[in-house]
């Protein structure tokens, strides 16, 4: 009697489908984690850029020895004008910050941002007037500007006790410094 032995020359269709489905599940989990990481990075970057822009505007107001007003022009653009915010007409644009796409400036009132006072940019008014003051920053005494990417929020905060803007972000419902 002759014995027949079958040698396996490859993978079965069931084995291939099992491996491909496991790889798909792992890839799907990785995409969600990657999207969260991108949202965190873009929010942090926007908060840092807004804080740097506001510091630069304060320095420019002192250098020019005049009041500058920061306004929200569009949803993702901050512009510093050569006039006070309560002036009837805006002067020349001195500087601008264009945020990357999908990052917006929050113009509606939001919850208090880490003790930072009032929203400097609202839908009806801009309160971000930078006035030269002897020995102090030209920035407003207190306030914040909030930026948003998806559901993530970041902010540039000026507190009464500090002489500069602090970038903050809100990863899990509470504000923390960057």
Within-domain flag for 8: no
> How does pLDDT run across 100-150, given as a tens digit for each residue?
888 988 887 666 676 667 888 887 777 788 888 877 788 888 888 899 888
Least Cα distance to 83 among 94, 96, 98 occurs for 94
Does a structural domain hold residue 132? yes
For the chain, the domain total comes to 1
CATH value at residue 120: 3.55.40
Is 162 contained in some domain?
Answer: yes
- Kindly provide the b/e burial profile for residues 158-174, where b requires at least 16 CB atoms within 10 angstroms of the residue's own CB: bbeeeeebbbbbbeeee
Sheet holding 68-72, edge to edge: 93-98, 77-81, 68-72, 128-130
Q: Is residue 2 part of a domain?
A: no
Domain presence at residue 82: yes
Does any domain span residue 159? yes
The model's pLDDT over 26-67, given as tens digits with 9 standing for 90+, comes to: 888 877 788 888 888 999 999 999 999 999 999 999 999 998
What three-state secondary structure class fits 71? strand
Domain with 78 in it: 15-177
Question: Is residue 5, in this structure, part of any structural domain at all?
Answer: no
- DSSP state, 173? S
Q: What pLDDT is attached to residue 133?
A: 82
Strands 165-170 and 176-177: what pairing?
Answer: antiparallel
Q: Would 20 be classed as within a structural domain?
A: yes
């Amino acid at each position: 009697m002759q014995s027949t032995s079958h040698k396996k020359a490859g993978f079965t269709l069931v084995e291939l489908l099992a491996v491909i489905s496991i790889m798909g599940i792992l890839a799907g989990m990785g995409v969600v984690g990657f999207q969260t990481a991108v949202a965190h990075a873009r929010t942090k970057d926007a908060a840092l850029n807004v804080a740097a822009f506001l510091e630069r505007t304060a320095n420019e107001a002192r250098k020019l020895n005049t009041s500058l007003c920061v306004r929200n022009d569009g949803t993702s653009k901050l512009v510093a004008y050569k006039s006070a915010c309560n002036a009837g007409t805006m002067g020349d644009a001195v500087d601008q910050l264009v945020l990357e796409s999908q990052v917006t400036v929050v113009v509606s009132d939001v919850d208090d941002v880490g003790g930072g006072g009032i929203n400097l940019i609202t839908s009806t008014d801009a309160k971000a007037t930078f006035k030269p003051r002897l020995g102090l920053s030209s920035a407003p005494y207190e306030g914040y500007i909030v930026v948003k990417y998806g559901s993530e929020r970041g902010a540039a905060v000026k507190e009464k006790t500090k002489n500069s803007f602090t970038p903050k972000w809100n990863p899990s419902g509470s504000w923390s410094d960057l």
